[in-house]
Amino acid sequence: MTQPARDLDFLTACAALEWMVELGADAAVTDTPVDCYALAESLAPKAPAAPVAEGRAPVAPRAPLPVEGPDPVESARAEAARAHDLDALRAAISGFDGCELKKGARNTVFADGNPKARVMIVGEAPGRDEDQQGLPFVGRAGHLLDRMFAAIGLSRTSPDPASAVYITNVLPWRPPGNRDPEPAEIAMMLPFLSRHVALADPDVIVLMGNAACAAALGRRGILRLRGTWAEAFGRPALPMTHPAYLLRQPQAKREAWADLLSLRARLDTLPG
């Protein structure tokens, strides 16, 4: 257990921090979990007790007033609809303040690859490397993703739309400690993803993992969904296991390879 911060001098604190980073810590959290629901309740202004007139039934407490301010999902929809090209969409997402994740992120991660590609890959959310570099899939999982798609002749650096991929994520900001995206965060950013697909206009979409399937298909259970073509945003979509999962479970690469071949066959038969 580390000592309380007040007992540390500056240099010891720096050394302790360096040691934690060395061990893999990459997000600042508190020593003990905070129950935000309890906190919100304890901070909420208390309504003065209603005077109870003698002989009358007490007045029922009023329902809490709705939170002031625009609904963030509605704002996201309006902002996304106003974006008429990918640059405008990137600016709209960077300027969107409805999602708390933005406050803890270094960068807004919009996309990488060739926006004219026939294939658009949708991942989950930036991790530490992506947050640092401002690009999707640039860490270990990203290197595997590049190798997987290279094996069927596709690359994010190809200038030819027929052999290129375009890559984005459901969330443009890194969740703290790489936790799973919450349903509310996915719902909030979905209008931007939907507009992103419409503007990039790919022939097919690859949904990498559960968060992408939850956003695009409204379904989870990637091990059941993978390999079966579905429809998302009005176009063919192939759910696949996420490369981060394949790094942990290398035996699943055999099925991922079958999925890549299915994608290759679809591209070869679909008019491009």
Report the interface residues with ligand URA, using CB under 6 A.
123-127, 130, 136-137, 141-142, 169, 208, 244
Closer to ligand URA by CB, 204 or 211: give it: 211
Closer to ligand URA by CB, 96 or 137: give it: 137
CA distance 119 to 26: 32
Closer to ligand URA by CB, 17 or 217: give it: 217
Q: Smallest distance from the beta carbon of 104 to ligand URA, in angstroms?
A: 16
Closer to ligand URA by CB, 64 or 114: give it: 114
Q: Smallest distance from the beta carbon of 233 to ligand URA, in angstroms?
A: 18
User: Residue 41 carries which side chain, given as an amino acid letter?
Assistant: E
Closer to ligand URA by CB, 188 or 208: give it: 208
